[in-house]
Chains A and B, each alone.
Chain A
């Protein structure tokens, strides 16, 4: 398996605080890789450092064999890597229609056949052309997240960075979005890096996962190991117990 994303000893610091502390892993092409951890564990920082939204001070990042450093990413990078954010209320421009939101990445990357691409993107996320000229405030949370996914997929990327894509949504809507993401991954042979605090979601969506705590990777394990409870870190056990819900006594 060739690696799509390879990270070695990545360090991100904010003043004296190490948000990421020598994090390394390789994600194979076509793999779905999960990252779990609590707030402050560095899981979102990691995605932001990959995508160039945060600068990393040390270590190396290579995507499909091309090295990147700091915050600089070329256009080619964003053709390959797209991101879906947690909060669908904050990640769509409030004064742009869906049409405009989907048009922008196409213009930036000089795509042709814009008309078809936009309507196909909407169809793919199950919204249809009726949503094309709406503003984001006219959409529900689930519909907004579908638009955010359409905006990421419209550039036909190879790698999708998913930062808690369903944690702001109701459980039933979460199921729809997760199904949509899985379908897109199958159809397009995508690589996923998915961040979530929910072990259930990660074990459903990913083949392998890393458990993070305080900026470090505590453990990397196959998702199947969670089921068989074959893990070594105490923190992984705590997360697993927590995911099973409240028990008295």
Chain B
């Protein structure tokens, strides 16, 4: 590909393997996709390798695991051969990640404001007062009504929805080009989920980021993303535009769509997935 058309992210044949006492666990087994400034959803059930795919891109795979890929490149630069310091400079600055539960992923002994300022100061040469101003305006951007007050609060003093907004603020404050959101709303109450998603939706659109949304919720992902990758047992079983979800071919995708109870559909018993061993081959 020529300049200007280099995709934001290229993943080719990504494999993540964990050695265990009982042999190797191959969590990701040859995942390939490219991502531009678009929204890609990765869907799968627990153990499908969706989170490990995200973590491998972010560089957060545990040290004892092995990662291989024919190519894992972020805006044309190979991530796997990069020095650790370079990777650190990317992480948080140009690639950011939102995790599932703000209760566990924010630092409990640091105020929310300090954590955002810390991110900024790690990656940019800014004065403390400028960092503070930018942190406050970022908190405002995630629709926190009283940014000054929340800036000085500890994570345990805020609700889940507020904590998740703070995490979004922290991740977006450096203006990343790629955002990986791993189940960003599944720890939140249903009505709060929608608020957080619409904030995320707006910011991603305004700032022109590439987004990878990792979730178990096929419907959520399809309403949020342009394109959906469905993973099963470490592999991609189907990739399709969100609009075509109703025409999904793979029985696993169709099964996932069918097995949810919804208001107004009377299906007793609910259809269940008949897992075929060949899906996992």
Contact = CB atoms under 8 A, between A and B. Distances in A.
B230 interface: no
Interface of A: 38-39, 141, 170-176, 178-179, 182-183, 197-201, 203-205, 226-227, 238-243, 245-248
Nearest to A247: B223
Interface stretch (B116-124, B143-151, B192-200): B192-200
A199 B45 contact: no
A38 B190 contact: yes
Interface in B147-190: 160, 189-190
Interface string B241-281: 00000000000000110011111100011111100000000
Q: Which of B45, B198, B260 has the most CB of A within 10 A?
A: B260
Given A204-B270, A246-B224, A197 B190 contact: yes
A175 B272 contact: yes
Contacts of A240: 263
B46 interface: yes
B263 A226 contact: yes
Closest A-B pairs by Cβ, 3 of them? A204-B261, A175-B259, A179-B269
Greatest chain B CB density within 10 A among A171, A174, A242, A247 is at A171
Contact of B259 (A39, A141, A174, A242): A174
A169 to B, nearest CB: 9
Given A170-B46, A248-B201, A243 B268 contact: no
B189 A39 contact: yes
B206 to A, nearest CB: 14
A197 B46 contact: no
A179 B273 CA distance: 12
B261 A203 contact: yes
Given A170-B45, A204-B270, A226-B263, A243 B190 contact: yes
Given A39-B189, A175-B270, A175-B272, A245 B261 contact: no
Contacts of A200: 260-263
A236 B45 CA distance: 29
Interface of A (DSSP majority class): helix
B219 interface: yes
Contacts of B264: 203, 226-227
Contact of A246 (B194, B259, B261): B194
B201 A243 contact: no
Contacts of A204: 261-262, 268, 270
B216 interface: yes
A242 B263 contact: no
B261 A201 contact: yes
Given A179-B270, A242-B194, A170 B263 contact: no
B191 interface: yes
25 contacts: A39-B160, A39-B189, A171-B217, A171-B218, A171-B256, A172-B256, A175-B259, A175-B269, A175-B271, A178-B261, A179-B272, A182-B269, A197-B190, A198-B190, A199-B263, A203-B263, A203-B264, A204-B262, A239-B191, A240-B263, A242-B191, A245-B220, A246-B197, A246-B224, A247-B223
A242 B160 CA distance: 17
A246 B256 CA distance: 18
Contacts of A247: 223
Contacts of B198: 246, 248
A35 to B, nearest CB: 14
Nearest to B200: A246
A239 B190 CA distance: 7
Given A170-B45, A172-B259, A246-B223, A197 B189 contact: yes
Contacts of B268: 182, 204
A221 to B, nearest CB: 12
A27 to B, nearest CB: 21
A39 B193 CA distance: 13
Given A175-B261, A201-B261, A239-B190, 8 more contacts: A176-B272, A178-B270, A197-B189, A199-B263, A200-B260, A226-B264, A227-B264, A242-B190
